[in-house]
Structure 1
Amino acid sequence: MAKLSMKCHPDTPAEAVRDFTVEVERRRDDQVWIRYTVEVPLDELQLDETLKPERMDGLWKTTCFEAFVKPEGSAGYCEFNFAPSGAWAAYRFSGYREGMDDLPMASIPALTKTVNESHFVLEALFALAPEHSSTEVRLAVTAVIEEANGTKSYWSLAHPHGSPDFHHPDCFTLSLPARAGT
């Protein structure tokens, strides 16, 4: 498993983030594991108070790590949001920014964080939607980073032209093949 470099959207330059990488793996039990590693002085990163793990809307308004999952050849996709606080969200879309509904989850995403003075790491383990089971999926791995001074930057493996738009098809650059034996 390789570390992939996240790219900051050119219209939202980060001031404090020195580097941002992700690692992604599809597990046998049709779960996806992602490790987001942000090299940033901890006192320059906006982090919300730690909460019990709970579903919550609007997480993207501050520091939030995200994954968009789309079956190969489908218009529909799912969005997963993971906050450093432990809060999470999961949505299903029928098409590009259309038909948004809460995605029912059999189990809540497992989130763990590692923090020190120079970096922040969030690991997320979440189950794919049943309709994505045993199929190849495309991922858009993204994040919103808010610095302590209020500066927000938008990160992805790839960005479309124009304003930041994590839902855009150009962001779905990572392919995860179907796992045998799932």
Structure 2
Amino acid sequence: MHTLIPHPAHPPVSVRSVEAEVIFPKPGMAMARYRIEGIDELILPEFTGRGKQDELWQTTCFELFLRRGDGSYREFNFATSGRWAIYDFESYRAGMSEFNPTTMPEVSARAGDRILAVNVTLSARDLAGFEAMGLSAVLEENGDTKTFWALEQSTDRPDFHDAACFALPVEAAAAK
């Protein structure tokens, strides 16, 4: 698991740590996993069924970014509601289009007293052909507090699209 850091301009209320990773548990399958500790004040969208939905980042949302060598990239958004959105970009925040995944992402979330675990099952083919990865989360807490967690925070305002956020190489297993 990789530790995500909150943007310093948006400190959390109760969330103490966020970890995330992408694994390839079997051929053809990828799984994005997120673990949040300190969920006392965390707002979680209730399950409404699987399907596409825009603007998931308006509340608690988990994100995965993948970048190609030419600077184009793909953005995945997942919510505990079971909703998801996937977009392709030609370059930094430009040329956005919807991406239709090979198989519909499946989001599962389990919350305990202090910890939330979110797992998202994806087709490994939808992660193939990319060189770098960014893992991030928007977490909404009670009191209208939003925090922005990423592998790197390099700008004055949260920006998961920033090249510095693509801090991990994509594993060769993604091509299988």
Q: State which of 160, 173, 176 in structure 2 corresponds to 1:166.
A: 160
**Paired letter, 1:6:** L
1:129-144 equivalences under 5 Å are 133=128, 135=129, 137-144=131-138
1:78 paired with 2:91, answer: no
Matches within 5 A, 1:106-145: 106-128=102-124, 133=128, 135=129, 137-145=131-139
CA contact (8 A) 2:88 2:96 kept: yes
**d(CA) in 2 for partners of 1:97 and 1:149?**
30
**Structure 1 unaligned runs (5+)?**
none
Aligned AA (1:62)? T
Say whether residues 1:21 and 2:19 are aligned partners: yes
2 CA distance for matches of 1:180 and 1:70?
13
Identical residues among aligned pairs (%): 33
**1:150 aligned partner:** 144
Q: Does residue 10 of the first structure (1) align with residue 11 of the second (2)?
A: no
Note the aligned Cα RMSD (angstroms).
Answer: 1.9
Matched to 1:47, the amino acid is L
Aligned amino acid, residue 51 of structure 1: T
Report the Cα offset of residue 60 of structure 1: 0.4
Q: Is the 8 A contact 1:27 1:179 kept in 2?
A: no
Paired residues of 1:36 and 1:122 also in contact (CA < 8 A): yes
Deviations 1:142-174 (A, max 9, x none): 000000221100000111222110001000001
Give 2:38's aligned amino acid: V
Secondary structure in 1 matching 2:52: coil
Take 1:167 and 1:29, find their aligned partners in 2: how far apart are those partners? 29
Task: Output the TM-score relative to the length of structure 2.
Answer: 0.92
Residue of structure 2 equivalent to 1:92: 88
Secondary structure of the equivalent of 2:164?
A: helix
Within the candidate set 32, 35, 58, 2:33 is matched to 35
Instruction: Tell me the amino acid that sits aligned with residue 49 of structure 1.
Output: E
Q: Deviations over 1:63-122 (max 9, x none)?
A: 000000112x12111000000111100001011100101001121112111111111110
Return the match for 1:62 from 32, 42, 59. Answer: 59
1:11 deviates by 0.5
- Secondary structure, aligned partner of 2:20: strand
Whose strand fraction is larger, Structure 1's or Structure 2's? 2
| One-letter amino acid of the structure 2 residue matched with residue 101 of structure 1 | S
Deviation at 1:57, TM superposition (A): 0.1
